[in-house]
Amino acid sequence: MKDRLSKGSETTTSTQERDALSRVVVAPDHGKRKRMAKPTRYGDLDDGRLYTCLNAGGSEAELAFAELYSRYSHRIYGYCMTMLGHAEEANDVFQDTFVKFYNSAVKGQTVANVPGYLFRIARNLCLNHKRDSKVTIEFDEIQFLSFDDSYENKELLKLLQTSIDLLEDEYREALILREIYGMNYAEMAEITEDSIPALRNRVWRAKDKLREILSPYLSELSNLK
Amino acid sequence: MDQGYLPPEDLMHGYLDGVIDPEQESALFEELGRNPDLRRRFNEQQNIRSSLKYYGGKLTVPAAATSAVFEKLGMATPVASVPTPIPPPANSAATVADSVMQSSLVRYGLTAALAVVVTLVTLLMMDDDTGGALTSTASDIVSKTPARTLDMDVPVDGTIQRAAGASETGMTTAGSALAGLHTGSVDGAIYDNAPTAAITTSGEGQNETISLQELANAQTSFDESESFAAESLSKGALLAVSLPHLGAPHGSRAVPTVGDFQAADFPAVFLPDARRFKMRVNYIGGVSSPDATLNTDNAALSNSQSSENVSIDLMYALDEDWSLGLAYGHEQFGQVFRFRNEDNRLLEFRQNPIIDWVGVTGRYRPADFSLFDATAPYAEVQLGYGTTDAFLGRISAGVSTRLFNLVELDAAWHYSELMYSIPGGRNSSLKRGFTLGFSYAVY
């Protein structure tokens, strides 16, 4: 797995790549090279190039990090929150994930799949956190998210959150990655280091379990739009 | 996908996952056709899938977490790094602003503090020594005549009546521009209403002479047909404070908007619901141009007016589009009429009518029609009746838009007219103008 995440040749910070990158973020202006410090330019870059920028340091790295954060923070936060079921802990793990991610890039760690790498960091931190903390969380300790929605929808979302929390970790994780974030099974396998058939089975069983838990409320869930 | 046998349940999952081949798909459809229980589960699974997608869209990163990440890395938090929920739900509105307004205590505290300010202002106004609904004193009559001082002995009542007679000629002043913006939680607005303050005479006959002999022997003549357009550039400020969402459960997301209810927060059915209520408290103050001057052959008239208004609305959302409310308003005017008689005496008459009115407010904001994602037009009508035989009519039309779920911008055109009786006749305060307001959203 690590090999798959560490295909160094794809994002190694070479001089040629730096030059190529500089042509994207730096534009000539009447003979002078003028920096175009517009984050929108970074939005045009793929993950690999942005990750390369992190190693460059300075404002370039900041803009690149901001762009990557913008792309993936939502998913990582959702993953942490759903896996841990506790807002404060999820916040901590979420922050540590991005800090660790950035530091890895600065240290020259090469990455082929940036979101996959982020999920792996988040996953490891979540697992560590769960291992180090108590195993069970009482129901009244569950911290419901502050959903921005109508009152009716909020209640349904809390119900859904509770139902997901009731799933076993491996089922919950597979469900999140597949059904909430729409990953394909190959991507999921890369993150979880499990086989595709096993993951598929988990997703299907997770949905079956979820249906059982939510059966009294399924008609109401159809209003969740 | 393996070509081996799959039970119908797994075929269903495989189909929803998009991993079964056409042959298996046919087998699934065949099974669905004859197995109602599978059909039910199939529908339920589709329901769960869409619910999970919706749930995922609601898992947004708190702004505090974003700031903490960038702070830990020694970076400034850029606005561009605010993550976009994925996938974007239809009415997703969560933003980085959520956490800014997370403390209900602070929010409601701020609102309450502003409400207290407004209340104090109201009390101060009511505590005015004029006290009554319509007051005028003889001491208000002063002479500013450069050549001669006004030397007269005028009975108070007579003075009032006669002076009010000037109003009887039908002064209609436009341009005080105290347009009412009573929308949102806290609104600030600037208005710059201008020109065309029209002073028209609409006396009871051609060349009617209104004798003001009792009032400093003045004699003023007006011609009914005369109409004067005076430049009256009014500038002022407006503060409207609203207490929205009366009865909204503490800690829940109330309904943010500029004077409106969020359609998504209400079911289509008509049910009493505390979240449908919203209270608005507005204070509007302003001063019209000090002098809109009318000169006639033998008299001169100038008029200036100030106005302060406090009103309270309790609005109720009838459905997603319509809301209806009861309103109470308290208005106080500071009116100054100046006359120059043929002896070149300048007479000044002040009166301070105070009017309390109650009324109804109707508001229409089509839920299905939006110019952009969070921008929608609205129209509002307010009718009121009050003391001193006052009638109030106000229409407003505008567009409001929500930014970052934190601030609402509201641009509207308002036209209102308050007609009220004063001794000797009726007066009319016409207010119209464009307002640009803002408000914070309450969650």
Cβ pair B324, B123 in contact under 8 A: no
Round the average pLDDT of chain B to a whole number and report it: 55
Residue A69 sits at the chain B interface (C-beta within 8 Å): yes
Cβ pair B317, B266 in contact under 8 A: yes
Q: Which residues of A touch B265 (CB under 8 A)?
A: 150-151
Burial class (CB in 10 A: 0-12, 13-18, 19+), B367: middle
Q: How many residues does chain A have?
A: 225
Specify whether B35 is located in the same domain as B118. no
Residue B274 sits at the chain A interface (C-beta within 8 Å): no
Has residue A67 been placed in a domain?
A: no
> Could you give the percent of chain A with pLDDT greater than 70?
72
For residue range B24-82, what is the model confidence (pLDDT) as tens digits?
888 888 888 888 888 888 888 888 888 888 888 877 888 888 888 888 888 877 655 44
B266: which DSSP letter?
A: S
Residue A175 sits at the chain B interface (C-beta within 8 Å): yes
What's the farthest any 2 CA atoms get from each other in chain A? 70
Residue in A86, A106, A74, A95 with CA at minimum distance from that of residue B67: A95
Residue B266 sits at the chain A interface (C-beta within 8 Å): yes
Has residue B307 been placed in a domain?
A: yes
| B43 C-beta neighbours (distance < 10 Å), count | 12
Has residue A79 been placed in a domain?
A: no
- The CATH number for A195's domain is 1.10.10.10
Q: Give the dihedral sign, CA A208/A210/A212/A217.
A: negative
* A165: containing domain: 144-225
Specify whether B114 is located in the same domain as B54. no
What whole-number distance in Å separates Cα of residue B349 and Cα of residue B337?
5
Phi/psi for A35 (5° steps) reads: -75, 135
For residue range B3-17, what is the model confidence (pLDDT) as tens digits?
566 788 888 888 888
Please tell me the predicted confidence (pLDDT) of residue B215.
33
B267 → chain A, closest CA residue: A152
Residue A11 sits at the chain B interface (C-beta within 8 Å): no
Residue A23 pLDDT greater than 60, yes or no: no
Has residue A170 been placed in a domain?
A: yes
Mutate to test the interface with B, among A98, A150, A209 (most CBs of B within 10 A): A150
Has residue A77 been placed in a domain?
A: no
Average pLDDT, integer, range A47-65: 84
Q: A-contacting residues of B 383-412, CB under 8 Å?
A: 405
- Residue B49 CA to its chain's centroid (Å): 42
Q: Which residues of A touch B70 (CB under 8 A)?
A: 66, 69
For residue range B208-267, what is the model confidence (pLDDT) as tens digits?
223 333 333 333 333 332 332 222 333 344 444 444 333 222 222 223 333 333 333 333
User: Which residue type is seen at B132?
Assistant: G
The answer to whether the Cβ–Cβ distance between A152 and B62 falls below 8 Å is: no
What whole-number distance in Å separates Cα of residue B434 and Cα of residue B429?
17
Has residue B69 been placed in a domain?
A: no
The answer to whether the Cβ–Cβ distance between B86 and A39 falls below 8 Å is: no
Q: B-contacting residues of A 26-65, CB under 8 Å?
A: 39-40, 62-63, 65
Has residue A10 been placed in a domain?
A: no
Instruction: Respond yes or no on whether the N-terminal peptide bond of residue B8 is cis (omega within 30° of 0).
Output: no
Residue B40 sits at the chain A interface (C-beta within 8 Å): no
Q: Which residues of A touch B53 (CB under 8 A)?
A: 179-180
For residue range A153-174, what is the model confidence (pLDDT) as tens digits?
777 777 888 888 888 888 999 9
Which residue is associated with the tokens 């399924």? A218
Residue B103 sits at the chain A interface (C-beta within 8 Å): no
* B386: containing domain: 110-440
What whole-number distance in Å separates Cα of residue B240 and Cα of residue B311?
9
Query: Taking phi first (over 0 means left), then psi (-120 to 50 degrees means alpha), and beta for anything else, what does residue A190 get?
Result: alpha
Residue B185 has which token pair? 């939680």
Specify whether B340 is located in the same domain as B417. yes
Identify the three-state secondary structure at position B392: strand
Q: Which residues of A touch B84 (CB under 8 A)?
A: 70, 74
Residue A143 has which token pair? 């911290």
Nearest to A39 among B58, B78, B83 (CB): B78
At which of B17, B37, B59 does a domain end?
B59
B251: which DSSP letter?
A: T
At which of B41, B59, B77 does a domain end?
B59
Has residue A69 been placed in a domain?
A: no
Nearest to B82 among A70, A95, A200 (CB): A70
The answer to whether the Cβ–Cβ distance between A102 and B59 falls below 8 Å is: no
Residue B203 has which token pair? 């006396």
Nearest to A69 among B52, B69, B267 (CB): B69
Please tell me the predicted confidence (pLDDT) of residue B164.
25
Please tell me the predicted confidence (pLDDT) of residue B185.
35
For residue range B108-152, what is the model confidence (pLDDT) as tens digits?
334 344 434 433 333 333 333 222 223 232 223 222 222 222 222
Specify whether B193 is located in the same domain as B338. yes
**Distance (Å) from the C-alpha of residue A33 to the closest C-alpha of chain B?**
25
Half-sphere exposure of B300 (CA within 13 A, CB side): 14
Domain tally, chain B: 2
Cβ pair B317, B338 in contact under 8 A: no
Please tell me the predicted confidence (pLDDT) of residue B284.
63
Please tell me the predicted confidence (pLDDT) of residue A150.
61
Q: How confident is the model at residue B423 (pLDDT cuts 50, 70, 90)?
A: low
The answer to whether the Cβ–Cβ distance between B83 and A149 falls below 8 Å is: no
Specify the higher pLDDT residue, A83 or B181. A83
Residue B148 has which token pair? 């001669």
Residue B58 has which token pair? 């609601």
Three-class SS of A120-145: HHHHHHHHHHHHHCCCCCCHHHCCCC
Residue B76 sits at the chain A interface (C-beta within 8 Å): yes
Has residue B321 been placed in a domain?
A: yes
Residue in B427, B441, B408, B434 with CA at minimum distance from that of residue B169: B427
Has residue A81 been placed in a domain?
A: no
For chains A and B, what is the number of CB pairs under 8 angstroms? Answer: 158
**Distance (Å) from the C-alpha of residue B102 to the closest C-alpha of chain A?**
9
Burial class (CB in 10 A: 0-12, 13-18, 19+), B173: buried
Has residue B387 been placed in a domain?
A: yes
The answer to whether the Cβ–Cβ distance between A224 and B51 falls below 8 Å is: yes
Q: A-contacting residues of B 196-255, CB under 8 Å?
A: 249, 252-253
Burial class (CB in 10 A: 0-12, 13-18, 19+), B193: buried
What whole-number distance in Å separates Cα of residue B234 and Cα of residue B230?
12
3-state helix, strand, coil in chain B (%, to 5): 25, 35, 40
Q: How confident is the model at residue A95 (pLDDT cuts 50, 70, 90)?
A: very high
- The CATH number for B339's domain is 2.40.128
Specify whether B311 is located in the same domain as B410. yes
What whole-number distance in Å separates Cα of residue B383 and Cα of residue B379?
14
The answer to whether the Cβ–Cβ distance between A78 and B56 falls below 8 Å is: yes
Residue A70 has which token pair? 């913008």
Has residue B89 been placed in a domain?
A: no
Which secondary structure element, helix H or strand E, spans residue B70, and what is its range? Answer: helix B63-72
Specify whether B129 is located in the same domain as B201. yes
Specify whether B41 is located in the same domain as B167. no
Residue A95 sits at the chain B interface (C-beta within 8 Å): yes
The answer to whether the Cβ–Cβ distance between A77 and B59 falls below 8 Å is: yes
Has residue A186 been placed in a domain?
A: yes
Has residue B151 been placed in a domain?
A: yes
Domain tally, chain A: 1
Please tell me the predicted confidence (pLDDT) of residue B55.
83
Identify the three-state secondary structure at position A16: helix
ipTM over 0.90: no
